[in-house]
């Protein structure tokens, strides 16, 4: 690498100058192995029995016990957990995205008394760790008969993710040129229509980002779910997986199968929305 520094820099950007093409590929390759390795290891364990795993942690599956997935899905109620998770997370993410985008638009675009106060309160709730609200949330949900219900959990998830969503979207929406809104007004559109036809499509990269973030975070959320849900039929996936962990015996093979099942939607969500993340949509609007 010293040689690379000594050579006259072929490129103006600092990163290639430091590493060079090959060096960069090496680092990225190493990082990929580092992050993907444990995942692949888990994938092999999901088709091995716990007995086989204890005998040799790293062996290649022989034979492939695909029936572990059927056992998890049917016999261990993973179908129920999966369905519960889907209902709660999809509802929460949908509400967070719509309400968050509307709130962010209002905060970014309209001048009204208390605008910055609302923004300040939202921002302060991002600073504190959400765990400190756990006890009081528990009490509130009990008071309103929402404890141990998926509706209650959904409401909690919405309130958990809303502040950061509004914060991120406000920053993005505020940068949409005011002239676009004025032009739409001159074209005859009212506030709601402008939100739907201008803000949402132009804000799509930012909205897709928050959508993926919220989805992944809530799909994997454990702490609030385990405290606020007691019924086995109402478990979400993360608590369902935890049920395989006894005090003395852990069914590693089944846990791995459960994790593999739970990971699929996250990968799908990312594959579907990531394409929208890349494009900057305001190119060509003004100037």
Partner 1 sequence: MAVVQLDRICKRYGGGGPPAVDDVDVTIGDGEFMVLLGPSGCGKSTTLRMIAGLETISSGTLSIDGRVVNEVPAKDRDIAMVFQSYALYPHMTVAENLSFGLRRRKTPAPEIERRVREVAEILGLAPYLARKPHALSGGQRQRVALGRAMVREPMVFLFDEPLSNLDAALRVNTRNELIKQHRRLGSTMIYVTHDQVEAMTMGTRICVMNGGRVAQVGAPLDVYWNPADTFVARFLGSPPMNLFAATLAEPGRVEAGGLRSRLTRWRPDALAPVVGRDVMVGVRAEDLSLDREAAGPEAGSVAGRVFAVEPLGAETLVSVELERGVECTARLSRGVQARIGEAIELFFPPTATFLFDAATTRAVPASAPLGAVH
Which of 71-79, 129-137, 182-190, 207-215 is the region at the interface with partner 1 (rule: CB under 8 A)?
Answer: 182-190
Give the torsion sign (CA, 91, 97, 100, 106).
negative
Per CB under 8 A, 22 contacts partner 1: no
Angle at 140 between CA 137 and CA 142, to 5 degrees: 110
Rounded distance, CA 220 to CA 200, Å?
27
Enumerate residues 196-225 that contact partner 1 by CB under 8 A: 198, 201-202, 204
Beta carbon nearer to partner 1, 134 or 183: 183
Neighbours of 18 (CB within 10 A): 13
Per CB under 8 A, 182 contacts partner 1: yes
Instruction: Please identify which residue in 47, 184, 229, 259 interacts with partner 1, judged by CB under 8 A.
Output: 184
Instruction: Please identify which residue in 67, 193, 231, 233 interacts with partner 1, judged by CB under 8 A.
Output: 193
Beta carbon nearer to partner 1, 17 or 276: 276
Per CB under 8 A, 160 contacts partner 1: no
* Closest among 210, 72, 280, 238 to 153, alpha carbons compared: 238
How far apart are CB 280 and partner 1 at their closest, in Å? 9
Rounded distance, CA 160 to CA 164, Å?
8
Q: At what angle do helices 252-278 and 204-219 cross, to 10 degrees?
A: 170
- Show the site string, 268-287: x = touches partner 1 by CB under 8 A, - = not: -------------xxxxxxx
8 A C-beta contact, residue 219 and residue 262:
yes
Instruction: Give me the residues that bind partner 1 (CB under 8 A), please.
Output: 177, 179-180, 182-190, 193, 198, 201-202, 204, 281-287
């Amino acid at each position: 690498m010293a040689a690379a520094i000594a050579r006259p820099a072929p490129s103006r950007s600092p990163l290639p100058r430091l590493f060079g093409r090959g060096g960069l590929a090496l680092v990225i390759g190493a990082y990929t192995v580092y992050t993907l390795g444990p995942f692949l290891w888990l994938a092999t364990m999901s088709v091995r029995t716990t007995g086989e795993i204890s005998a040799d942690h790293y062996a290649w599956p022989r034979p492939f016990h695909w029936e572990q997935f059927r056992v998890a899905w049917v016999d261990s109620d993973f179908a129920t957990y999966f369905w519960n998770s889907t209902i709660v997370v999809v509802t929460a993410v949908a509400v967070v995205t719509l309400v968050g985008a509307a709130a962010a638009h209002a905060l970014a675009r309209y001048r009204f008394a208390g605008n910055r106060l609302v923004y300040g309160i939202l921002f302060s709730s991002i600073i504190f760790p959400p765990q400190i609200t756990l006890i009081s949330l528990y009490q509130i949900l009990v008071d309103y008969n929402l404890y141990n219900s998926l509706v209650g959990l959904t409401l909690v998830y919405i309130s958990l993710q809303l502040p950061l969503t509004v914060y991120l979207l406000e920053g993005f929406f505020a940068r949409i040129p005011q002239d676009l809104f004025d032009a739409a007004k001159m074209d005859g559109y009212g506030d709601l229509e402008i939100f739907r036809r201008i803000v949402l499509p132009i804000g799509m990269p930012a909205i897709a980002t928050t959508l993926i973030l919220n989805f992944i975070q809530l799909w994997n959320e454990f702490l609030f779910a385990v405290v606020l849900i007691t019924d086995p039929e109402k478990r979400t996936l993360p608590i369902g997986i935890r049920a395989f962990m006894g005090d003395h015996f852990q069914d590693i093979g089944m846990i791995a199968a459960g994790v593999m099942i739970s990971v699929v939607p996250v990968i799908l969500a990312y594959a579907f929305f990531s394409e929208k993340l890349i494009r900057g949509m305001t190119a060509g609007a003004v100037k």
